[in-house]
Chain A
């Protein structure tokens, strides 16, 4: 209990601004009605947010809200509400926490459930899901929600990328995937037009897309300052600073946030300020969403002199020039290319190292660029999307790259019932010993 009350120490001022961002996003959903705007339940990292922004639709992010409930350690009652409606505890807990919230709000005729964390989230005017290769809940969750919110229209679009196949050149298939993604994005535009009664302003969308590109570049530039030794920012902070790129893409606020973050980190690097005083080990958070209720564990790593200058999780874009995007004046096509090329970005490298995987190549690239000594994965039981395949990534990493110390933590994103703090700390202790031994061995 005492642990709950401790506030995690943030290394950056930028991370400290995040609660305001998150609250702002939530209250925008509550304010929307007064402002005559439509609210849409939406899902992160699925290429659709810029269209919503251009149509003045206010996104309500279920994943964010479940994360908030989890961080406040107040998710259990929503999970139970979903469970009592026959949603298994083994399903994605972002979804079930949110469904529990929605079911409760419907039972109260639209009133917020009692003491809803941060005032709750507004009832949507539409739900915009995505049937794609990010995860099944991105389309099953909207369908499930509609059972309770029957009057709310649902759109689900397809966005795919060529699957990894060591024996196939994915470039031959890219155009097909881009064309399909573009058509599905167009279908979303038509859906939004129908339900807002407004026409898409294509010039505005183009400007927003251009702003997003700049935001992605600024985000990566800022994050790359973390290569410095000692690192000026770690993954614990990044789990906060991911908010603007993830939930506010296509807004000036997001761009300005990363510009400020860049300046702040640059200052720290120039002054030689690190996250911890004596940086002993540099680690990569190689995969897995975090346990939102246990972000303090990053502090535990810090206390041992271990920091995370880099993570794969929530690094949701790449510098656009590195993606070598074909030129186009069509903003939807641009979004589609950016989407496809982001996911296939490490395919070439993987093909060059027999036995490797794109996900592993990305980890290797970061290990080298950020000079990491070990890799930590988090396996969250309720999300197959990011967490099935972690064992393989660890095995392939060892096989193709070398014997690097690896820790696989197990838990969940929202469901605290699986978490054992003492056990987690013991495992971290053992991992630190492993890192020490590995360093001794290397001399």
Chain B
């Protein structure tokens, strides 16, 4: 019982004080490299000896300082994180890796680089197409990234460093997937709000500490007793960087239960591993280019239905395995990659007989009341 408290408490702490641990490590002489989105291969940063920390925003903090530097037509998540960075929240960073995820990142990279004044800034030019030439190209892009990190950190990144980093990140992902397993029961052993906190807390920890936290949590959570108070609508959330709990809270306060996600701090980041029996750089390139389910990647097949299955078939598996009753699809305003996908995803899931609630959001707490009304109505519909 005591131990349970200690792990859950640690999650709470790390969630509330995001980056606290990394800050401590920085004070003790570690180097810290920030990054955005799950398409930055964290293995490479870990292999360099630096600690990767994924940047998050704060929906409760209004964007103010950033208004003087970045247009309001940029995705509100990107603006929010940039605002946090300008306000010094990430003052402990030695550098930042900005990937070519979307226009909101690509077209603002210079704004970040010029205004944050970090010692190291790298734009990682990830391709969108996943064919053979793109994979070769991406491998070269990763080599350029490695060289630039080596120069900055004055340290060689050897093949064995990469192999070790791959192994440890695979373990981290494996542990997280095990934790997800515990959401499959009815009721789940870990609810959506708690899970969201775990997802946020771990992305701000060095990978080794993330593993111990998740493994510890699995043990405690597995010992919990299932107390059912009737069937509650089981909800999956789809979206990009949903790094706040208000959606899950609204679902769970409204009588539903958030059992699964297809979000970029969640399953999108944890489902695929890097293969260990291949050339490490190739395997990393392959994992990030071909195995991540993000709208920034173009996967095509000969026919439309094959393409759709290739791109979204995993959603069908999620729905079956986690016994999902309804899906909430969230996009951020001004997000072209997710925005253009909405009718497609919605249609695909509805064809499986699962209702979808689509909401365009602003990455701001100010929209919570509006979302609440819609989510409650959706849950009521599911409960009928």
**Is B268 part of the binding interface, using a Cβ–Cβ cutoff of 8 Å?**
no
**Is B172 part of the binding interface, using a Cβ–Cβ cutoff of 8 Å?**
no
Q: Which of A254-262, A382-390, A425-433 contacts B (4 or more CB under 8 A)?
A: A382-390
Task: Let me know if B360 and A88 touch, CB within 8 A.
Answer: yes
**Is B369 part of the binding interface, using a Cβ–Cβ cutoff of 8 Å?**
no
Known: A144-B343, A147-B343, A187-B133. A389 touches B110 (CB 8 A): yes
A101 to B305, CA, bound (A): 23
Which residues from A are CB-within-8-Å of B342? 86-88
Which residues from B are CB-within-8-Å of A187? 131, 133
Interface centre among B122, B295, B334 (most CB of A within 10 A): B334
Give the Cβ gap from A79 to chain B, nearest Cβ, in Å: 14
Known: A88-B333, A90-B360, A183-B133. A143 touches B110 (CB 8 A): no
A158 to B141, CA, bound (A): 14
Whose C-beta in chain A lies nearest to the C-beta of B120?
A: A167
Binary contact track A174-196/B, C-beta < 8 Å → 1, others 0: 00100110011001000000000
Binary contact track B100-115/A, C-beta < 8 Å → 1, others 0: 1011101111110011
Task: Let me know if B73 and A146 touch, CB within 8 A.
Answer: no
Which residues from A are CB-within-8-Å of B68? 391
Give the Cβ gap from A43 to chain B, nearest Cβ, in Å: 14
Task: Let me know if A133 and B100 touch, CB within 8 A.
Answer: yes
Whose C-beta in chain B lies nearest to the C-beta of A143?
A: B340
Binary contact track B121-147/A, C-beta < 8 Å → 1, others 0: 111010111010110110010001000
Known: A88-B331, A389-B107. A176 touches B127 (CB 8 A): no
A263 to B195, CA, bound (A): 69
Whose C-beta in chain B lies nearest to the C-beta of A144?
A: B340
**Is B74 part of the binding interface, using a Cβ–Cβ cutoff of 8 Å?**
yes
Binary contact track A402-437/B, C-beta < 8 Å → 1, others 0: 000000000000000000000000000000000000
A92 to B336, CA, bound (A): 7
**Is A173 part of the binding interface, using a Cβ–Cβ cutoff of 8 Å?**
yes
**Is B344 part of the binding interface, using a Cβ–Cβ cutoff of 8 Å?**
yes
Task: Let me know if B339 and A388 touch, CB within 8 A.
Answer: no
Q: Chain A interface residue count: which class?
A: 35 or more
Which residues from A are CB-within-8-Å of B121? 165
Q: Which of A148-156, A219-227, A296-304, A322-330 contacts B (4 or more CB under 8 A)?
A: A148-156
Task: Let me know if B346 and A384 touch, CB within 8 A.
Answer: no
Known: A133-B100, A184-B133, A388-B108. A90 touches B70 (CB 8 A): no
Which residues from B are CB-within-8-Å of A90? 333-335, 339, 360
A355 to B108, CA, bound (A): 16
**Is B380 part of the binding interface, using a Cβ–Cβ cutoff of 8 Å?**
no
Binary contact track A367-384/B, C-beta < 8 Å → 1, others 0: 000000000000111111
Task: Let me know if B110 and A391 touch, CB within 8 A.
Answer: no
Task: Let me know if B123 and A154 touch, CB within 8 A.
Answer: no
Give the Cβ gap from B225 to chain A, nearest Cβ, in Å: 42
Give the Cβ gap from B145 to chain A, nearest Cβ, in Å: 11
A357 to B137, CA, bound (A): 26
Task: Let me know if A131 and B304 touch, CB within 8 A.
Answer: no
**Is A396 part of the binding interface, using a Cβ–Cβ cutoff of 8 Å?**
yes
**Is B71 part of the binding interface, using a Cβ–Cβ cutoff of 8 Å?**
yes
A 83-98 contacts with B by CB, 8 A: 85-88, 90-92, 95
Task: Let me know if A144 and B110 touch, CB within 8 A.
Answer: no
Whose C-beta in chain A lies nearest to the C-beta of B74?
A: A388
B 329-361 contacts with A by CB, 8 A: 331, 333-337, 339-344, 346-347, 358, 360
Which residues from B are CB-within-8-Å of A160? 125, 127, 137
Whose C-beta in chain B lies nearest to the C-beta of A384?
A: B103
Task: Let me know if A91 and B104 touch, CB within 8 A.
Answer: no
Known: A133-B100, A140-B337, A396-B114. A158 touches B134 (CB 8 A): yes
Contact of B107 (CB < 8 Å), options: A151, A180, A388, A396: A388
Binary contact track A337-355/B, C-beta < 8 Å → 1, others 0: 0000000000000000001
Whose C-beta in chain A lies nearest to the C-beta of B131?
A: A187
Which residues from B are CB-within-8-Å of A391? 68-71, 111
Task: Let me know if A137 and B340 touch, CB within 8 A.
Answer: yes
Known: A87-B339, A176-B137. A151 touches B304 (CB 8 A): yes
Chain A contact residues, CB within 8 Å of chain B: 85-88, 90-92, 95, 131-133, 135-137, 139-141, 143-144, 146-147, 150-151, 153-158, 160, 162-165, 168, 173, 176, 179-180, 183-184, 187, 355, 357, 379-385, 387-392, 395-396
User: Would you mind naming 5 contact pairs between A and B with Cβ atoms under 8 Å apart?
Assistant: A91-B334, A136-B337, A137-B336, A140-B341, A379-B71
Could you list 16 further interchain pairs (A-B, Cβ under 8 angstroms) beyond the known A133-B106, A158-B128, A389-B107? Answer: A88-B331, A90-B335, A90-B339, A92-B336, A131-B128, A140-B295, A141-B340, A151-B304, A156-B300, A162-B125, A164-B110, A180-B133, A384-B73, A384-B104, A387-B73, A391-B71
